[in-house]
A = this chain, B = another copy of it.
């Protein structure tokens, strides 16, 4: 398995990215990491930090796309950036999957215009795998398409279902449409029209509208939303997760009494933290692209990035891109 990594993408790049790659190289057997970036700089960091370089191939790319750069820079002025070079390696079959924690817009543009969409897919969707109390679910789109048409949402539902099935091994995943009420007639025109398409789609297990309340409580394996509502839901969930672990920490470090309490329930807290930590679920697959592309969280640390690589491997090992093509051919 060959994974190409954009070494300079993300808030903590390149050090945390490289560390994450080393963790992945240690954990995942038969993996080769194509680390793309400023070769000398990367080699120096690995030496200084005593990081093992076996199972790494370092590919030189002189330029870097920053969070401030225009998404289209990946095609033009920054075509020799780590991200652009990594995308070309993916396109040329030099790698099985791509991972970057960099500029989301540039990842979307690069994947769509350099690697290309699956024939018949109207829009690629960013699908975040998120924790719920019942286990992980995928929400898509999470921000790639803030303005959507009903047929996009119908394709998101198909791609999300196939991802949960092929990559996370969930049989017959339940698909819910994020809406402001459960009744069929609810929501803006987009959701009302999408509901009818989803209802008629024989390739998915549509369970109807779901309200925001149900998202963290579980109940559906695939949550379909336009990129705006999806992004807001994702970030509100992150905010609550962050708030709650902060509150819990405050509660359990306040005084001697509470510190004793912390010791008594440490195992439960750890188990919960692990369950609700988005870092455990790796990054967000960009679905609808003809090759596996994973967008890791911009703030990824080594562990989060390692999990994103793990997810990229699972994506590449799955047959889901083939499955999407098959399903589209059926229509």
Give A residues with C-beta under 8 Å from B: 133, 143, 146-147, 178, 180, 187-189, 191, 211-217, 227-229, 231-244, 246-247, 250-252, 254, 257-258, 260-262, 264-265, 268-269, 272
Give Cα A188–Cα B231 distance, bound, in whole angstroms: 12
> Could you say which of B232, B241, B243, B252 contacts A180, with CB atoms under 8 Å apart?
B232
| Chain B residues in 8 Å Cβ range of A246 | 133
| Contacts A146-B188, A188-B147, A216-B240; A247 near B272 (Cβ below 8 A) | yes
When distances are taken between beta carbons in the complex, the residues of chain B under 8 Å from A237 are 212, 236, 240
CA A252 to CA B248, docked complex, whole Å: 12
Q: Could you tell me the distance in whole angstroms from the C-beta of A301 to the nearest C-beta in chain B?
A: 17
Q: Which chain B residues border A268 with CB–CB below 8 Å?
A: 250-251, 254, 258
Cβ of A239: which chain B residues have Cβ within 8 Å of it? 212-217
**Can you give 10 A-B contacts (C-beta < 8 A)?**
A133-B247, A146-B180, A180-B232, A191-B228, A213-B236, A236-B236, A240-B244, A247-B272, A258-B268, A261-B264
In the complex, are the beta carbons of B272 and A265 less than 8 A apart? no
Which B residues lie within 8 Å of A264 (CB)?
257-258, 260-261, 264
Residues of B within 8 A of A191 (CB): 228
> With A133-B247, A217-B243 in contact, is A232–B178 under 8 Å at CB?
yes
CA distance A265 to B249 in the complex (A): 12
Q: Which of A212, A214, A246 is the most central at the interface, judged by chain B CB atoms within 10 Å of its CB?
A: A212
Nearest chain B CB to A236 CB, angstrom units: 4
Give min CB distance, A138 to chain B, whole Å: 16
Contact call A243/B212, Cβ cutoff below 8 A: no
Please indicate the chain B residues that have their CB under 8 angstroms from the CB of A238 in the complex.
212-213
- A212 and B234 contact, CB distance less than 8 A: yes
Residues from chain B with Cβ under 8 Å of A188 in the complex: 146-147, 228
Contacts of A147 on B, CB cut-off 8 Å? Answer: 188-189
Closest chain B residue to A247, Cβ basis? B272
